[in-house]
Amino acid sequence: MTRRVLGGVCALLVLGAGLTGCSGEEPSAAPSEPAPSSTVRSTQPAEERPTVTASPTPEVPFDTWQVGASPLPLRDDGFGQVLPTPPELRVRRMRTVDVLPPPTSDRFEGSVHPVTPAFVRRTGLAWSSGCPVALDDLRELRLSFVGFDGEQHTGQMVVNAAVADDVVEVFRTLHEARFPVEEMRLVTRADLDAPATGDGNNTAAYACRPSVGTTSWSAHAYGLAVDLNPFMNPYTKGDLVLPELASAYLDRGWRRPGMIHPDGVVVRAFAGVGWTWGGTFRSVTDRHHFSANGR
């Protein structure tokens, strides 16, 4: 989790997915013959009968919050002030802004590409020659994901070459489960230098930076960690919450789309490739963080 801007199946009905049988009850058996009184015939001619149409299901509106627009006052430790979650973000549902062309079908698409100096110059990736992993040991991933709009999108992240195939398989599983992701884009040098706004929700991996509150390299600096929907799954240590406006999501009993739970598909998918969940760390609770090296 960077310190800056990056920073129930039935429950998915809010995304507009059609689902029946959530109560788990068996349907009643139909009678073999209808009772005589069950047949009702209209006395109006057909052309005079009123047309009855089903009322459309109202669409759940998207948030109009402008992410990154309002820098926070800073604490003595350099992080933003932890403030109450704005009402419009308590059940966050932002529209995904496409950076790459969307997938060509509803099927998952995942691909692995080299990371070159030209790629770093073009994208502003948060890497430099002083970082602990050489470019030859990094890979760019392009991955399908389902947004909170229920539509298909293409995300982009950089990971260590040694874990690239595993990360592709994790996101294949999440795509098949239609687990919603708000955005998935590269962490840039500009992101690391941006003022704290406490409202970011980028799903990302590589960033050449130290761990939160330390001078040691983060697992992200090795391309061995992924942060997923950080606003819905905030980091906490003492009185620090990151992102700083995400306190409403500390209530883990209030299940909302995009949240990560111990019994959920996200934890199972990462555990399936041998990764550790930050939600089980002892010194901090890093709910959005998964790592291949346990850090």
Quick: pLDDT tens for 165-219.
999 999 999 999 999 999 999 999 999 999 999 999 999 999 999 888 778 899 9
Quick: pLDDT tens for 113-162.
999 999 999 999 999 999 999 999 999 999 999 999 999 999 999 999 99
- Predicted confidence at residue 19, as pLDDT, reads 34
Whether the predicted pLDDT of 281 surpasses 60 = yes
More confident residue, 62 or 221: 221
- Predicted confidence at residue 64, as pLDDT, reads 87
Residues 6+ apart with CB under 8 A from 148: 15, 62, 93, 94, 95, 96, 180, 182, 257, 258
- Predicted confidence at residue 60, as pLDDT, reads 65
- Predicted confidence at residue 280, as pLDDT, reads 97
Residue 273 confidence class, pLDDT cut points 50, 70, 90: very high
- Predicted confidence at residue 210, as pLDDT, reads 86
Residue 63 confidence class, pLDDT cut points 50, 70, 90: confident
What is the average per-residue pLDDT within 100-125? 96
- Predicted confidence at residue 58, as pLDDT, reads 52
What is the average per-residue pLDDT within 68-88? 96
- Predicted confidence at residue 201, as pLDDT, reads 98
- Predicted confidence at residue 213, as pLDDT, reads 76
Residues 6+ apart with CB under 8 A from 10: 19, 22
Rounded distance between C-alpha atoms, residue 144 and residue 272, angstroms? 19
Structural tokens at position 48: 């005079």
Rounded distance between C-alpha atoms, residue 94 and residue 92, angstroms? 6
Structural tokens at position 176: 């098949």
Q: What is the DSSP string of the chain?
A: --SSS---GGGGGGGT-----TT-PPPPPPPSS--GGG-----S-GGGSPP--PPPPPPPPPP---TT-SPPPBPTTSSBP--PPPGGGTT--PPPPPSSPPPSSSS--EEEEE--HHHHHHHTBS--TTSSS-GGGEEEEEEEEE-TTS-EEEEEEEEEGGGHHHHHHHHHHHHHTT-B-SB----BHHHHHSPP-S---B-B-----BPTTSSSBPGGGGT-EEE-STTTS-EEETTEEESTT-GGGG-TTS--TT---TTSHHHHHHHTTTPEEGGG-SS-EETTEEESS--
- Predicted confidence at residue 45, as pLDDT, reads 46
Q: Please provide residue 215's backbone torsions phi and psi, each rounded to the nearest 5 degrees.
A: -110, 5
Q: Please provide residue 247's backbone torsions phi and psi, each rounded to the nearest 5 degrees.
A: -60, -30
Quick: pLDDT tens for 4-62.
444 433 333 333 333 333 333 333 344 333 444 333 334 444 444 444 444 454 566 78
- Strand 110-114 relative to strand 276-277: parallel, antiparallel, unpaired? unpaired
- Predicted confidence at residue 11, as pLDDT, reads 36
Separation of CA 138 from chain center: 23
